[in-house]
Amino acid sequence: MSVSEWREAKLCDIGEIVGGGTPSTKEESYYGGDIPWITPKDLSTHNERYIYRGEKSITEEGLKNSSAKLMPKGTVLFSSRAPIGYVAIAGKELCTNQGFKSLIPKNGVADSEFIYYLFKHKKSDIEAIANGTTFLEVSGSAMKNISILLPPLPEQKAIAATLSALDDMIELNNQINKTLEEMAQAIFKSWFVDFEPFKDGEFEESELGLIPKGWRVGVLGDIIDIFDSKRVPLSNRQRSVMEKKYPYYGAATLMDYVDNYIFDGVYVLLGEDGTVMDEKGYPILQYVWGKFWVNNHAHVLKGKGVFSDEYLYILLKNTNVASIVTGAVQLKINQNNLTGLKIMIPPEDVVKQYNDVVKDIFACFRSNADEIKILISLRDTLLPKLISGEIRVPVEEVV
């Protein structure tokens, strides 16, 4: 099969472009039903190809009284505004808000997974045709008229199968890591929240409630070192160069100087200001390792002494860090509030036991995450070459 068998087509030739809608939020009866209702926000943290539900669902009444449309399983969702370019495949019947221009592929013409990868490949091209004053948006007519190069259906499926094999491994590793982190959290909660291994011992009152005798209330500054003075603000140009060599953490920012410090090891990063906090004001927490750069929007932390970075990471996951966020317009966690955060401090031998239990969990977590990075790099290298026909997939080898 030669690339000459590929044909030029418009999106409207291979499927139906469908918008979405939002039922009136004033009508409680429109929400909480059995119909999944997807918004771009739902895709902002969604890392899998298929999506089955969003944060909210709507009722039949809500569907009938809005411009939302029920779309079949296999519909390819593409966010067309705020922001442009989130992509997922409907894993079941669902609908979206008006922030999408979704494509329902024609049977026998287009394959859902191929279109999913095609949209990922053409994201920048689609963004370029967006317009608007308040925010950029891709119109339905513009979406319909996007030109593509379409392989025969068997080759579409072969291309999608090749890329999906990599995504299958990525998604599996992500799921394993989610389970590993949940295990570490469950052990932490059992030991340091519910005190299950210590229930037969004596307890005493503290300002944080009853705690095992011999434990104490302290502050986060007692068990951490902060490396904020070693952060590296970068210009956009410097960041683009450095990111090719080492990961760069923290929100994008424009700075005009840089020193030569590279972090190397295991650290915990905690959002310092509003650029690395979620929409509810909760700081983003990251467990990172290896060599990397950090800009001036995140606190760089390490556990002190027996208080390992893994212990610190799970501790912060179970601590109301949002309680020390200040600022009305620009949310912020200053260093004094962070180091003064009240925490319970167990005896060192108990912390050592916890470290021994979870060290293999986190070693596996890091290994899986490193493999994910390699798989993502391979997928992202292959994607444009397969979608353009530069690299061909033997159709007969695809089951």
What pLDDT does 204 receive?
A: 95
Please answer whether residues 264 and 187 qualify as being in contact, where contact means their C-beta atoms are separated by less than 8 angstroms.
Answer: no
DSSP-assigned letter for residue 201: S
The tokens describing 252, both together, are 């994008």
The tokens describing 116, both together, are 């999913």
Say if residue 252's pLDDT is above 60.
no
DSSP 53-80: --SEEE-HHHHHTSS---B-TT-EEEEE
What pLDDT does 190 receive?
A: 97
Determine the average pLDDT of the residues in 33-54. 94
The chain-wide mean pLDDT, for the chain, equals: 91
Please answer whether residues 57 and 33 qualify as being in contact, where contact means their C-beta atoms are separated by less than 8 angstroms.
Answer: yes
pLDDT in tens, 163-212: 999 999 999 999 999 999 999 999 999 999 999 999 999 999 999 999 99
What pLDDT does 242 receive?
A: 59
pLDDT in tens, 66-124: 999 999 999 999 999 989 999 999 999 999 999 999 999 999 999 999 999 999 999 99
Pairing relationship of beta strands 285-294 and 248-249 according to DSSP bridges: parallel
Say if residue 258's pLDDT is above 50.
no
- The secondary structure element, H or E, covering residue 175 is helix 153-192
3-state helix, strand, coil in the chain (%, to 5): 40, 25, 35
What pLDDT does 281 receive?
A: 75
Other CB atoms within a 10 A radius of the CB of residue 319 amount to: 16
Percent of the chain topping pLDDT 70: 92
CA distance 152 to 158: 10
